[in-house]
Amino acid sequence: MLRTLRSKEPRDSMAESKTAIARRGFGATMRRDAWWIELIPVVLVLGAFSVYATWRTFENNYYEFESYLSPFYSPLIKPKWWPLSPAILILWAPLGFRATCYYYRKAYYRAFFLDPPGCAVGESHPHRYSGETRFPFILQNLHRYFLYVAIIFLVILWYDAITSFWFDSPTGKHFGVGVGSLVLLTNIILLTGYTLSCHSLRHIIGGNVDCFSCVVAGGPRHSAWSRVSFLNERHMLFAWLSLFSVGLADLYVRLVASGVIRDLRLL
């Protein structure tokens, strides 16, 4: 009896303090750290990236230079019946992949919706948590399908990165290294890290297996799962680095294509 009473005490007091925080309203918390600081870079970086990506999507210019192709416009699809920017035809896929990413969801729910603004911090409108079971947030469950499409995009962007090392000459194509080649290569390496560290991918490979020695190809599957788990622990890092790299890769192609800067040839 005594044990039962004791084990209930901490839970009761936690429930009481949660209710008290909810009653005190938005921003109420017992946390003493500067929890709000981490919201600022998310708002600034995601906000700036969204504005830049939207502008570039509709700009419909300066996306190619010699063997370089901006990742915002790859694969380059220009059907005759489509009068607008070709980027609109393809960008839904990588943007959908990022928008439904588990890490980014946490980041933008906190930073933009303030729902909640942080762990153990009061919301503006306390409500019953319904998860992502209702429209529109139920669409977040499409993440796995965006992952499949993202893997196809990875293959295409690897092709673009490799192609960027081959330049036209009077005698045909020749191997060379430009700053743009390195920019596109760095970008696809980081995008690969981001995609391979995806939580959904980790689940597909081995997250749903209780016993690796009991399933077909359990050994290779376990080793793949261990590698993906290693990357998965760094998913947040890849999420940010690849966001910067894809934006900077597009910016670089735009600057050389528009003649603002010259592409430096290293080889």
Q: Which is nearer to ligand FES, 106 or 265 (CB)?
A: 106
Least distance (Å) from ligand FES to the CB of residue 139? 15
Between the CA of residue 141 and those of 38, 43, 136, 147, 150, what are the distances in Å? 26, 24, 10, 11, 15
Q: Least distance (Å) from ligand FES to the CB of residue 155?
A: 17
Residue 246 interacting with ligand FES (CB under 6 A): no
* 158 makes contact with ligand FES (CB under 6 A): no
Q: How far is the CB of 153 from ligand FES (least distance, A)?
A: 12
User: Which of 103, 153, 240, 252 is in the footprint of ligand FES by CB under 6 A?
Assistant: 103
From the list 101, 157, 183, 191, which residue makes contact with ligand FES (rule: CB under 6 A)?
101
Q: Is 199 in the site for ligand FES (CB under 6 A)?
A: yes
Q: Which is nearer to ligand FES, 202 or 254 (CB)?
A: 202
Say whether residue 200 binds ligand FES (CB under 6 A).
yes
DSSP string, the chain: -HHHHHHHHHHHHHHHHHHHHHHH-TT-B---S-GGGGHHHHHHHHHHHHHHHHHHHHH--S-EETTEE-GGG-S----TT--S-THHHHTHHHHHHHHT-HHHHHHHHHHTT-SSSSTTB--SS-----TT-STTGGGGGGHHHHHHHHHHHHHHHHHHHHHTTEEEETTEEEE--BHHHHHHHHHHHHHHHHHHT-HHHHIIIIIT-S-GGGSTTHHHHHHHHHHHHHHHTTHHHHHHHHHHHHHHHHHHHHHHHTTSSPPPB--
Only segment of 25-33, 55-63, 124-132, 198-206 that touches ligand FES (CB under 6 A): 198-206
Residue 143 beta carbon to ligand FES: minimum distance, rounded to whole angstroms: 6
Binding of ligand FES by 242 (CB under 6 A): no
Count of chain residues binding ligand FES (CB under 6 A)? 8
250/70 Cα distance (integer angstroms): 5
Q: Which of 102, 109, 158, 166 binds ligand FES (CB under 6 A)?
A: 102
**Angle, CA 154 vertex, CA 61 and CA 227 arms, to 5°:** 150
Closest separation in Å from C-beta 8 to ligand FES: 37
Rounded to the nearest whole angstrom, what is the least distance from the CB of residue 132 to ligand FES in the complex? 13
Nearer to ligand FES, 91 or 101 (CB): 101
Residue closer to ligand FES (CB basis): 164 or 232: 232
Nearer to ligand FES, 104 or 167 (CB): 104
Can you give the C-alpha Rg of the chain in angstroms? 23
Q: Binding residues for ligand FES, per CB under 6 A?
A: 101-103, 143, 198-200, 235
